């Protein structure tokens, strides 16, 4: 371990006040003590008598959101109680981001009444020689263009729901309830543990207990802050008792699973803290999907669903979305495009489509 002051030059920022600056959307980033948006509160006009702080340094909040730490990729101005760290040795962006996480991990030591202005330089972090190998192998620049719109067309394709029908979850899936595991009983390991959260694909921890559920399944939160959030699980896992697991009774590809997750999330408005989506309610016909033969109780048109999900994925060619809730963007795009599928006649939404 090494002191931050020995690894970085710890410097106080330029200490400007945002309310005295002129906003400029094409100007200089203004970094404050906020915990969001990489610490950037606004863009301001450049001052003729104050040079921006150089890019490539870490900014650390000494007060406010104490120890919120970010790598600044562009020159910037700073507000009060904001420090910036300049590496004493050459570091890649991946290593700098690693140290951001290390510094942020010390947040529990501080609060509104105990800020980090005087002790920041004495906090200990891993030395450069102790940085894990996976950090050096990481490529943070793969996300450089993640904010580019996936589809530049402003015209939305209307969804033709006449080709869709209501179906039952319990006829498409075997519904199983998760099994609780307290944090106190969790052992270190590599088995994903899925909890009732609304992000990170439901992943809350890795545990040493054996996996209880198979890969290629869908988890649906019936309780917690992520009620009705659905995630595709690409690896064997355990889950909490606030999560229900859907085992497909048909051949389910990743594209189809992610598509279904998007449709399930559209049911969120039906549920809340006081009305949970337990197994009994999951047996009710709630969800819509395209049918193979409109008007007949034949089945879901998984072939069409999968084809359009692959089409939609081509509009956002980002490999890290393949097993992520963010794939819902492409699934929604597929929903829009499926309204214009040729060769299949329309039918009423009231027709139930089930799998025999």
CATH number, position 283: 3.90.220.20
Domain assignment of residue 351, yes or no? no
0.75 surpassed by pTM: no
Q: Are residues 26 and 125 in the same domain?
A: yes
Say yes or no: 126 and 271 in one domain.
no
> What DSSP state is assigned to residue 157?
P
CB within 8 A of 263, min separation 6: which ones? 287, 288, 289, 331
Q: Concatenated DSSP letters for 82-119? A: EEEEEESS---HHHHHHHHHHHHTTGGG-BTTB-STTT
Lowest mean pLDDT among 45-49, 135-139, 144-148, 208-212: 144-148
350 assigned to some structural domain? no
Domain count across the chain: 2
Least confidently predicted of 62-71, 106-115, 188-197, 272-281: 272-281
Name the percent of the chain lying above pLDDT 90.
38
Domain membership of residue 349 (yes or no) is no
Domain co-membership, 213 together with 117: no
Same-domain check for residues 117 and 247: no
- pLDDT band for 208, please (50, 70, 90 cuts): very high
Residue that terminates a domain, selected from 80, 109, 143: 143
Range of the domain at 239: 161-338
What's the chain's length in residues? 356
Asked if residue 353 is part of any domain, the answer here is no
Regarding whether 178 and 93 lie in a shared domain, the answer is no
Are 32 and 85 within one domain? yes
Residue range 72-126, pLDDT digits in tens: 999 999 998 899 999 999 999 999 999 999 999 999 999 888 888 889 999 999 9
- State the residue for tokens 């969804």: 159
- Determine, yes or no, domain membership for 283: yes
User: Looking at 95, 113, 143, which one is the last position of a domain?
Assistant: 143
Residues 135 and 210 in one domain: no
Assess whether 106 and 176 both reside in one domain: no
Tokens, residue 209? 């207990």
């Amino acid at each position: 371990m090494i002191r931050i002051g020995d690894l970085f030059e710890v410097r106080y920022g330029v200490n400007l006040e945002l309310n005295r600056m002129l906003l400029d959307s094409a100007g200089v980033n203004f970094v404050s003590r906020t915990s969001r948006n990489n610490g950037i509160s606004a863009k301001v006009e450049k001052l003729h008598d104050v040079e921006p702080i150089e890019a490539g340094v870490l900014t650390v909040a000494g007060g406010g959101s104490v120890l919120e730490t970010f790598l600044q990729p562009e020159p910037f101005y700073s507000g009060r109680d904001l420090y910036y760290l300049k590496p004493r040795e050459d570091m890649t962006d991946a290593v700098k981001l690693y140290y951001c996480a290390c510094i942020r991990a010390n947040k529990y030591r501080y609060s509104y009444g105990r800020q980090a202005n005087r002790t920041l330089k004495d906090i200990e972090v891993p030395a450069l020689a102790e940085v894990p190998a996976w950090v050096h192998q990481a490529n943070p620049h793969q996300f450089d263009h993640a904010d580019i719109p996936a589809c530049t067309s402003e015209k939305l394709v209307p969804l033709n729901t006449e080709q869709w029908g209501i179906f039952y979850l319990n006829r498409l899936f075997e519904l199983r309830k998760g099994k609780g595991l307290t944090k106190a009983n969790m052992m270190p390991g590599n088995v994903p543990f899925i909890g009732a959260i609304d992000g990170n694909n439901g992943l809350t921890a890795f545990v040493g207990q054996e996996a209880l559920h198979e890969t290629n399944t869908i988890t649906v939160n019936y309780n917690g802050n992520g009620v009705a959030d659905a995630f595709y699980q690409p690896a064997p896992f355990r889950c909490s008792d606030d999560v229900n697991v859907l085992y497909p009774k048909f051949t389910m590809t990743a594209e189809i699973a992610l598509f279904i997750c998007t449709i399930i999330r559209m049911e969120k408005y039906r549920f809340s803290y006081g009305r949970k989506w337990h197994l009994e309610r999951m047996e009710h016909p709630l969800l819509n999907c395209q049918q193979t033969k409109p008007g007949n109780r034949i089945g879901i048109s998984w072939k069409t669903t999968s084809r359009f999900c692959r089409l939609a994925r081509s509009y956002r060619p980002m490999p890290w979305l393949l097993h992520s809730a963010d794939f819902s963007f492409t699934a929604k795009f597929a929903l829009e495009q499926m309204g214009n599928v040729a060769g299949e006649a329309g039918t009423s939404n009231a027709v139930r489509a089930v799998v025999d």
